[in-house]
A = this chain, B = another copy of it.
Amino acid sequence: MQYNAVPLQKLIEQFERMPGIGRKTAQRIAFYILGLPENESKAIADAINDACKKIHKCSVCCNLTEDELCPICKNDKRDHSVVCVVEDSQSLIAIEKTKEFSGVYHVLHGAISPLDGIGPEQLTIKELIARLGSDEIKEVIIATDSDIEGEATAMYLSKLIKPFNIKITRIAFGLPVGTDIQYADEVTLSRAIEGRRNM
């Protein structure tokens, strides 16, 4: 039986589809929105429409931005000869927060995943190659995730970039800071040994 009015049910279904939201949370959010004053619920709808209308890909690095160029590509103080390739804008933000990287980025908007029907042509790899051909880029740091898709994408990119005679690096994988070796999983530990450095 349908317990909720149709427009309410539709709203709950919209939230249920979102990542990290289950049925109960979707219901809670829908009732929360219905309980808001009209201007506040409208503000949520407007924020969605507004963001989807105004936000698009930076014409250089494909990061999400309001303007033609994203703030990082626009910034003269950044080192435009080092490009860090990431899967998505969230990864970019995570790296920015470390304040360790002063180069620029390239956002792929995904990773190669044949099972999900995502091949290289669905990603912004074409745009990356175009940058390599025209710009004075000295190093490409591949910072895709350390899962199967991220690794496959990294391999694919490194083969593709080789002919450009540009230095290609991959971010380091090993023990997260603060972990006990005894609790580390085997794959991480072997990567940590494999990637050992002189000290």
The interface stretch among A49-57, A135-143, A179-187 is A49-57
State whether A49 touches B42 (Cβ < 8 A): yes
B31 and A90 contacting across the interface, CB-CB below 8 Å: yes
Contacts of A66 in B (CB 8 A): 5-7
Known A-B contacts A18-B29, A34-B64, A64-B34; A4 and B93 likewise in contact (beta carbons under 8 Å): yes
Docked CA distance A54–B67 (Å)? 37
A169 within 8 A of B: no
Which residues of A in the span 72-119 have a Cβ within 8 Å of any Cβ on B?
88-90, 92-93, 96-97, 109
Q: How large is the interface on A (under 10, 10 to 19, 20 to 34, 35 or more residues)?
A: 35 or more
Max count, chain B CB within 10 A of own CB: residue among A31, A33, A43, A44: A44
Q: Which residues of B lie under 8 Å from residue A53 when comparing CB positions?
A: 7
A42 x B52 contact (CB < 8 A)? yes
State whether A41 and B48 are in contact (beta carbons under 8 Å apart), knowing that A5-B65, A20-B25, A28-B20 are contacts in the complex.
Answer: yes
Nearest chain B residue, comparing its CB with the CB of A6: B66
The reply to whether A19 and B28 form a contact with Cβ atoms under 8 Å apart is: yes
Residues of A within 8 A of B (CB): 1, 3-8, 10-11, 14, 18-21, 25, 27-36, 38, 41-55, 64-66, 70, 88-90, 92-93, 96-97, 109
What are 5 residue pairs bridging A and B, where the CB atoms are less than 8 Å apart in the complex? A3-B96, A5-B70, A7-B51, A31-B89, A41-B48
